[in-house]
Structure 1
Amino acid sequence: MKWSKETGGNFEDRRGMSGGGKAVVGGGIIGIVALLLTMFGGETGQVIGNVLQQTQGGTNQQTEQVQTRELSAKEKELGEFSRANLVYNNRTWEAIFNENGQTYQEPGMVLFDDGVNTACGSATSASGPFYCPADQTIYMDLRFFEELRTRFGAKGGDFAIAYVIAHEAGHHIQNLVGTNRKVRQAQQGKSEAAANKFSVAQELQADFFAGVWASRNKEKLEANDIEEAISAAQAVGDDAIQSKMQGHVQPEKFTHGTSAERKAWFMKGYNTGDMHQGDIETIYNSIRY
C-alpha cells in the first residue's frame, strides 16, 4: 500500500507500556475459545469484559502507566502505518458524510500490548481488533496479524492491516448512523440463532464499508493489496474458523459470516464505492442460514 506519515487523528500508542490501559487479572490470558468468539471484536465490545470475568474470575487492577521497553523500528513503522490509515479513513468518511448532508465524528484509535481497559470493559490481546462504541475508539494489538497469518492462513502484507482498520471504522460508521441501536433492538427476545443472524449482517456490512473505503482510495493501492484484504476476510470467516478448530460447521453459531460472504460484501463495497449499496436490511435478507 502506498502511504506516508500523517499527523492528526485521535491516536494513542500504548505499546511498550505496563499499567494504565492494561488489564491485570488472575488465571492467565483468554483461551482459544474466547479468541474465536471475539475475533474482529465486533461493534459492541461488551463481550470482551464479560469473557474476562467469566473465564478469568479475576479483579481488574490498574496501576500508573509506565514505559517498560523501547519499540523496535518495525513496531514504530507499523504504528505510523496504523495512524495513517486512521487518517485516510477519516478523510474518506468525512467526504462521504458531507455528500449526504451529514456530520462525521472521528473515532479514536489505541494501539496496545497484552491488555487494555476500555469503556466497554477490559480486554487482552486475544480479543483481536475491536471497536468500542461507548468511547468511539478502535483498539488494536498489532501482533494479532502475525496470529492471523500463522494460525489462520491469511496472506501477509500491510493491506491486511489496512482492511481490518477499515472494517473497525465501518463499525464506527454503524454507530454514528444508528445501525448498532437498531440491531440491538431487533435482537431482543430472539433465539440465539436468530440474534446471531443480525450480528452476521452487521459484520458483513462492516466488511462492505471497508470495501467502500478501499474503492475511494484506489490511488493508494498496489498489486495484490485487494488479494491481501480478501485473504484476511476469508481467514476469519465463521465456517473457516469452525472447520479448523472443531472439525465441523455450526451455522446457528455464526456471528461474523462465512468466508464467501465476507469476501462478497467487501468486493461489493469495492466495486460500487457507494455506501448505500449495502444497507443492513439487504445484507440480512441475503443470509440463508
Structure 2
Amino acid sequence: MTDPFDALRLPVTPVTPDPRFAERLRARLERALLEPRSTPMTTTTDQAALDVPLATLTPYLAVDDARGALDFYVEAFGARRRGEPIVMEDGRIGHAELAVGGSVLMLADEFPELGLLGPRARGGVSQSLRLQVADVDEAVRRAMQRGAALVRAVADYPHGRQGAVDDPFGHRWILASAPTAARPAEPEPVPGHGDVAYITHVVPDTAAARRFYGEVLGWRYAAGSAEDGWHIEGTAPMAGLGGGATRPEVQLCYQVDDLAEALRRVREQGGEAGEPAPRPYGLMADCVDNQGARFYLLQSS
C-alpha cells in the first residue's frame, strides 16, 4: 500500500557542516580513539558539580569558541560541567558553567555587539587565573598536550611549585600547588682563594637565554645590579646572565685573598689587569690572561 505522505517528503540533501564544528568533532573522535580512558563524549549531569556553591567572586570568561573551551577545561584541568549550556538562537553559547575543584567558572561565546570579546580579539592576555592543582607538572603537561602554550616552565618558588600556560582561547592560567613548609635556608659556602666565585653567561639576548635555560634547567632569575644583568637563583657556584655580547661566552670570576697582589701577578705573567672597582659584595677587577681570555678577580668584603 502506498503511503499517502510520500508526496510530502523532501529528498535527503547532504549539507556541509560548519568547519569549526567539524574540526572539534574530529578532534574529540581522535581523542576518544587514542585515549580510551579520557572523558566520555556524552555529557551527563554531575550532581556534585551542581552542588558547588558560588563564591563571593566568580570569574566569567568570554571565549571565541565556548564549546571547545568547555572541552579543554574538562580535559586539561579536570573541570566538571554544571548542567547544560544555554544556547542562543544563532548557535552561540550564551552561558555555561564549570565546577573546578570547589570553585565555579562561568563562560560564554564572544558577543561583540555587547562589548564582550576574548583576549585574542582584544590583542592579548589582560588577566591571569590561578588554579591550585595536586600535580603542577602533570597539569601543565595535559594542558600543553591539548593546545596550551607554555608561558613559564614549572619550578619551585617560596610560595609553592608553579607553571603558567596560555590556553587555546587566550586566557593565562597560573597552575600552582600548595606551598610546602619552609625549611631554614642553608648558608652558601664561602669560596676560598682561587675558587670560582661567580659565572657569567654573556649573551646577545638575555630574554631568549632566560626562556631557554628556564625551560631546560628550571632556572629562576632576579634582576642584577648591572644593566641587563640577571642573577640565577640557587646555583652553585653562583651564576648570572649578562647581555650585550656580539657572541655568547662564559666569563669566570675567581676569589682571591689579596686583590692588589693578584693583579700584580697578572701583569707580571703577561696578562692585563684593570683597576679595582667597589661592588656591593667586595672589590672586583676585569682581567685578560696571557692568551686573551677575559676573567675577573674578586676580593670579597
TM-score by length of 2: 0.24
Higher RCO (Cα < 8 Å, 6 or more apart):
1
Instruction: Give 1 or 2: higher strand fraction.
Output: 2
Compare CA radii of gyration and give the structure with the larger one.
Answer: 2
Using structure 1 for the length normalisation, give the TM-score: 0.25
More helix by share: 1
